[in-house]
Amino acid sequence: MIYVSEADPDEEGYDLAFEPRNVFVKRKDPKSDYKLGEELGRGKFGIVYKCVEKKSGRQFAAKFINTDRKDDRLAVEREVDLMRQLQHPRILQLYDAFDDGTSEMCLILELIEGGELFERVICDDFVLTEKACSIFMRQICEGLEYIHSKNILHLDMKPENILCVSRTGNRIKLIDFGLARKYNPKEKLQILFGTPEFVAPEVVNYEEVGFGTDLWAVGVICYILLSGLSPFMGDSDLETMANVTSTKYDFDDEAFDAISEEAKDFISKLLLPDMRKRMTTTDCLTHPWIKSTKRRSMAVLDKSKLKKFVIRRRWQKAVNAILALKRMGATLKL
């Protein structure tokens, strides 16, 4: 059985995977510097492979992103610009970037092999407790605090974008800055993208977004991690977004019977309709549920509903990947 360590991850000697690098897009074929290995995953963005840097022998992940349109290429260049500003142990690190003039660009990224957080915790040999959840949520907030300190909004916080560094440790990293934006609080920023289950009311209503937009998603992620239930999920995207704008949710399900009042309070102070009233990342890190050194309940949480949630998300990702491949002109044999 895998029990999450209660030791502070910062005390385990962990540091950045490699030295800080000022990455710029190189105008050449990445295969000139890297040898590609096995495929690690694919989605609507493209394909990720394990790779080895030829001159050093170091292992990385090579993310090939479809850039058929000029806007796609500009989006990847923006992602590179943001990621080179984000050098922190809680954030996936960018090592290299390439554009060889074809229909795709390549990002060389730190290799993380622990898998998605939710996928890992639903494994039968993983013991999920409220204490373990608070450890994971603290690290998520630490990563976001650093991102926000750089005046950057992630804008795509969801379980798939939280990875475990290893299969046995308790460290996580935030990934995927494809939708991230530089943020100037003095300028109005509006967006119309995101995953319906995790977008904040201001996104659905096409109102001004800000740091609190990311914190709404943190509240949703915490709610799901503790209970396996999605607080605003409807039978369709339209119904889900209507539920988000109504901001109606509760802790009435039996899944919350074993959850502390402090944990519920943490969620309640994030799932507020007015983003200006939500906790900041600093507020989150000083909240009693996160900060307290008291031993949280070590009672094992029932993961049956969380497993169902993860299975549903797998199907959604599979369908999205198939649709993306079809858009790229792939012929699928099913």
The catalytic residue positions are: 156
Q: Which residues pair with 94 in a beta bridge?
A: 109
Q: Are 316 and 141 in contact (CB under 8 A)?
A: no
Q: Which amino acid is at 213?
A: T
d(CA 261, CA 43): 38
Helices (H), the chain: 70-83, 117-121, 130-149, 201-204, 211-227, 237-246, 261-268, 281-286, 288-291, 304-327
d(CA 317, CA 42): 10
Q: Retrieve residue 108's tokens.
A: 């060389």
- Our separate counts of H helices and E strands in the chain read 10, 11
d(CA 86, CA 215): 18
Q: Retrieve residue 228's tokens.
A: 């396996």
d(CA 215, CA 73): 29
Chain centroid to Cα 29, Å, comes to 29
| Residue 92: exposure state from Cβ atoms within 10 A (0-12, 13-18, ≥19) | buried
Note the residue count of the chain: 334
Task: Name the strands in the sheet holding 59-66, side by side, starting at the edge strand that comes first in the sequence.
Answer: 34-42, 46-53, 59-66, 104-109, 94-99
d(CA 224, CA 68): 36
Q: Are 273 and 247 in contact (CB under 8 A)?
A: yes
